[in-house]
Amino acid sequence: MKFAMLRLTTVAVLLAGAAGAHVGQHPSVHDTVAGAIDRMKQTIPHDALKALNVEQVLGVLTADERRVLATEHLSFDVNVPVDVYVVRDAALGAEPFWLAQEAFQPTDLRLTVGGDPFDAWKKSFDAGHVGLGVNSLTGAGDHYFAVIAPRDANAVVEIANIYPGRHTTGVLANGAQVYVDRDDLLAGEVPSPLDGALLLRGDNSRRKEAQLVNIFRVTPHPAGPRPDHVVLTWSADPKTTQAVQWRTNTATKTGKVQYIEKAKFHRFRAEKPNMVGAATAVLTNATLLNDTTVHRHTAVLTNLTPGTSYLYAVGDGSDDGWTELAEFTTAPDRAVPFSFVYMGDAQNGLDRWGSLVHNAYRERPDAAFYVMAGDLVNRGAERDDWDSLFQNAQGVFDRRPLVPCLGNHEYQNNDPSLYLDQLALPTNGPAAIGPERAYSFEYSNALFVVLDSNQLPETQTDWLDAQLAGSKATWKFVVYHHPAYSSSPKRDNPGLRKTWGAIFDKHHVDMALQGHDHAYLRTYPMKNEQRVASPAEGTVYVISVSGTKFYDQGDLDYIEYGMTNVATYQVLDIQISGDRLVYRAYDIDGNKRDELVIEK
């Protein structure tokens, strides 16, 4: 790989290291952590596991494991002797453990990032390889970033082979962005040895990668031999297919779905139902102390008739193993009026969220599907949280398909695999970001494009453009997590707004359904980042929250209607006669809190 050069006399931001670059051998922090977790579960009583502190965890780790955690989290090569400063969240106290172990020296340098105090630890390295360690064992603290200064003030530092390649470089100065995945800026005077030096940005999504303290959990909803947590999604055309997924414990080895057109079902003389087998996968979540491994069954029903209601049950294929009959309806093959529900972050207070979802279903059983704009759960890498979500959604998501998108909380530890493994979704997204993370589908006369705002917007721009250009749908909706027009100035996502907003403008997207900011807002119709006169000219951006965590809202000039501390669900009615969209937001008690009508 070529060296990216930084001349200290020029202020330039360089991108170093191609995305995903993986150069040479890197003993995996991930594998080391997984091995330590397994050993801890086998050797330490479960009650004691929940109370372990950092010192006790360090005592459990072998010298080799401590070395991997101290040197293999973030690494790079330098061309000249350098001083490496690890600038960390000062609240971390004695963490990360490896600063002392690897003979980093504390300094009196202090910086401020996002309003929080950071301090700097220093160590000299010769030209060549530099390896840095994990952020913390408790999972606490924002991620550190590194500053690299030449030992000879006249030298020019060149940095190469950054691992992982997602980390980027820049110049440390007042106002510098210090994370690859957040907009937090350095504020105030930068002390002299650091000012103007090379900045290796931190990746906050990795800050809990080596959490070994307070990770062990018990699911309140362990699986049994009979199916539960049945969830409908679409992994292909909603007109002719239906994905059904559920779980059992590992004693149940197979899964089957029986289904029949509702019109052909008679209590005393039913036609023989169709039967389709499920793919059964082993789903293991190592940090669960009970029910660590379950079977996840996924069946995709195909060749269904559009616009048709079906009855179905899931089981293991034996006569007495079936669930009660439930019902789903395929998408129509022509433009017909329909309704759907959109919700923002559930994430916290999933019991109360369950009441809200059931209220939505009871009030509007005609709503065809449920869009969720990310942060379905708080701890996306921990299955007990998903168990709570699915438990509370029983009776709704087994009758109406869930249309989800990825929030930052699904990416806990940079690992959205529980979302991907538990939900069968379309694979028609851009190849660059991996299957099921973005996708699109049409329903009646509407197009839905679901994006992954955890990834760089540029990874999906061309694909988004092609989806919108290739559709003749009357209504165009986009769904993603991080809002283009935030609820608070501190949570702005300007890159996403500019990059995707231009494409929404180009194809006149009607509404953007977003989450993340834990408040409610609906913008004026916006185009080219300006307020326009009517939805006929621009896009309406909505943020909502369906769970119990709320943030404050700023007084922002693009907000047409905003509110805080209210969980809502939204029902969108697409009316064909007159081509009208009636959008309404309801609180948990069914009170209408906002309304918008768009006419074509």
Segment lying near Fe ion (by CB under 5 A), choices 91-99, 363-371, 403-411, 503-511 = 403-411
* x/- map, 295-334, Fe ion, by CB under 5 A: ----------------------------------------
Q: How far is the CB of 347 from Fe ion (least distance, A)?
A: 5
Cis, bond preceding 164 (omega within 30 deg of 0):
yes
Q: Which of 321, 407, 430, 483 binds Fe ion (CB under 5 A)?
A: 407
Using CA atoms, how far residue 398 sits from 1, 36, 328, 403, in Å, is: 50, 38, 8, 13
Minimum CB separation of residue 352 from Fe ion in Å reads 15
Q: Residue 250 and residue 252: Cα distance in Å, rounded?
A: 5
The nearer residue to Fe ion, 202 or 374, going by C-beta atoms, is 374
Q: Specify the residue, 158 or 375, whose C-beta has the smaller distance to Fe ion.
A: 375
**Binding span for Fe ion by CB under 5 A among 95-103, 153-161, 357-365, 404-412:** 404-412
Residue with Cβ nearer Fe ion (149 or 403): 403
- CB-nearer residue toward Fe ion: 136 or 408: 408
Q: Which two tokens stand for residue 168?
A: 């980027």
Residues from 208 through 267 that contact Fe ion (CB under 5 A): none
| Structural element, H or E, at residue 410 | none
* Among the residue ranges 63-71, 451-459, 468-476, 513-521, the one whose residues contact Fe ion (CB under 5 A): 513-521
Q: How far is the CB of 174 from Fe ion (least distance, A)?
A: 28
Nearer to Fe ion, 403 or 447 (CB): 403
Please, which residue, 196 or 380, has the CB nearer to Fe ion?
380
Q: What is the largest CA-CA distance in the chain?
A: 90
Of 422-451, binders to Fe ion (CB under 5 A) are none
Residues 280-301: b if buried by 16+ CB within 10 A, e if exposed: beebebebbeebbebbbbbbbb
Does residue 341 contact residue 402 with C-beta atoms inside 8 Å? no
Token pair recorded at residue 82? 């350098």
Query: Per CB under 5 A, which of residues 335..354 are in contact with Fe ion?
Result: 345, 347
Query: Quick check: 516 binds Fe ion (CB under 5 A)?
Result: yes
Query: In the complex, what is the shortest distance from the CB of residue 517 to Fe ion, in angstroms, rounded to a whole number?
Result: 8
Residue sitting closest to Fe ion (CB): 375
HEC-encoded secondary structure of 253-269: CCCEEEEEEHHHCCCCC
Q: Of 240-248, 395-403, 511-519, 580-588, which segment contacts Fe ion by CB under 5 A?
A: 511-519
- Compute the least distance from the CB of residue 379 to Fe ion, in Å: 12
**Shortest distance in whole angstroms from residue 344 CB to Fe ion:** 8
Write down the H helix ranges in 423-483: 461-469
Task: Indicate the residue among 443 and 500 with the shorter CB distance to Fe ion.
Answer: 500
Report how far apart, in Å, the C-alpha atoms of 407 and of each of 209, 414, 516, 575 are.
18, 11, 7, 30
Q: Is the dihedral of CA 146, 152, 156, 158 positive or negative?
A: negative
Rounded distance between C-alpha atoms, residue 54 and residue 325, angstroms = 50
Q: How far is the CB of 493 from Fe ion (least distance, A)?
A: 11
Smaller CB distance to Fe ion: residue 239 or 379? 379
Query: Among 84-92, 352-360, 425-433, 514-522, which window interacts with Fe ion (CB under 5 A)?
Result: 514-522
Give the nearest distance from C-beta 408 to Fe ion in angstroms.
4
Residue 542: Cβ within 10 Å count: 26
| Cβ nearer to Fe ion, comparing 166 with 516 | 516
State the minimum distance, in angstroms, from the CB of residue 410 to Fe ion.
Answer: 9
Residue nearer to Fe ion on the CB measure, 346 or 433: 346
User: Could you say whether residue 410 binds Fe ion (CB under 5 A)?
Assistant: no
CA angle, residues 374, 399, 284, in degrees to nearest 5? 55
- Binding-site residue total for Fe ion (CB under 5 A)? 6
Q: Is 514 in the site for Fe ion (CB under 5 A)?
A: no
The token pair that represents 572 in the structure block: 């969108």
Q: Which pair of tokens denotes residue 169?
A: 């470089």
CB of 471 or CB of 564, closer to Fe ion: 564
Taking CB under 5 A as the criterion, which residues in 366-395 touch Fe ion?
375
Question: Residue 306: what are its φ and ψ, rounded to 5°?
Answer: -60, 150
> What's the min distance (Å) between Cβ of 374 and Fe ion?
6
Joined tokens for residue 74: 């973030």
* CA–CA dist 350, 377 (Å, integer): 8
Which range in 36-44, 382-390, 508-516, 592-600 contacts Fe ion by CB under 5 A? Answer: 508-516
Our CB check for Fe ion shows the closer of 221 and 516 to be 516
Examine residue 408 and tell whether it contacts Fe ion (CB under 5 A). Answer: yes
Q: How far is the CB of 548 from Fe ion (least distance, A)?
A: 11
Q: Which residues of 321-354 are buried (b: 16+ CB within 10 A; e: fewer)?
A: bbbeebebbbbbeeeeebbbbbbbbbbbbbebbb
Tokens standing for residue 41: 């579960």
Rounded (5°) CA angle 363-519-560 = 90
Q: At its nearest, how many Å lie between Fe ion and the CB of residue 345?
A: 4
| Minimum distance from residue 210 beta carbon to Fe ion (Å) | 22
Q: How distant, in Å, are the alpha carbons of 33, 42, 455 from that of 45?
A: 19, 8, 40
Report the DSSP pairing between strands 158-163 and 74-78: antiparallel
Nearer to Fe ion, 347 or 467 (CB): 347
Residue 385 has, within 13 A of its CA and on its CB side, a CA count of 20
Stretch of residues binding Fe ion (CB under 5 A), selected from 3-11, 390-398, 434-442, 515-523: 515-523
What minimum distance in Å lies between the beta carbon of 481 and Fe ion?
Answer: 6
Is residue 74 a contact partner of residue 205, using CB atoms and an 8 Å limit?
Answer: no
Nearer to Fe ion, 134 or 451 (CB): 451
Binding residues (CB under 5 A) for Fe ion: these are 345, 347, 375, 407-408, 516
